[in-house]
Chain A
């Protein structure tokens, strides 16, 4: 495995040898960001990237270039993240119902109808236009960071990675009813955060 200098310019077909240094340079940042979005702790994300590349070194011979190198590595990383969550689910109680237990009760009147001036406002710029703005994404990042860890994990698995509810419950060892409550509160909090920090600020991020 002691390869001579990196052959970054070589076409993928000739890169059949393990080349962890090049993997770090070419895919390291992307893998790290992917992990960080999901596990939120820098040192954990770094460890997961390392474990991923160690697996890649061991198994690269089986990877016959069927997919791009990037998606092969991301695939390994996804499994590692899933293992990480499974372990957390065994070790800690993953249900976090303390979070926003009042469910924005200040927004509803005594009969549980929206208080009109506090209900969801009319978002401008609209959907697609908002998604073109870097501030929109920065606000989402900032809002995600404010969610408590366990809620964020559940929410990320469901909304970003589209993992089916039952699978999340099995991985984290929680009941479906608790999952729904956590997701509901996360969505409510994130919607609110995005409204206050992006849309009501006329599209200017004031996080």
Chain B
């Protein structure tokens, strides 16, 4: 499995995969110039990696995402949903910003989009 370690910028989140815990961490804000270009390699990586993994956790702490990043995030969750249907143990931990009511709303909206375990937690800042 290829390692993943993308550093955060002002407009794009840090993304890395913790191989010890099979956890993909996405953390930061997301409004890159082209969200599709930014997320496409991660989605491809995820599809390939999920062929060999038996479990995966997505630990996501994005306090703000623009509309096209929302679409890309849903695409990532769809890849996990497919894996879940094939028997991969999948789980999402969504960390929201307590200071921002929209951040919790967003977590709830995304939770409705998947059928597997989706935990909403408070983001420690």
A and B are partners in one complex rather than unrelated chains: no
Residues on A lying within 8 angstroms of B by beta carbon are none
Residues on B lying within 8 angstroms of A by beta carbon are none
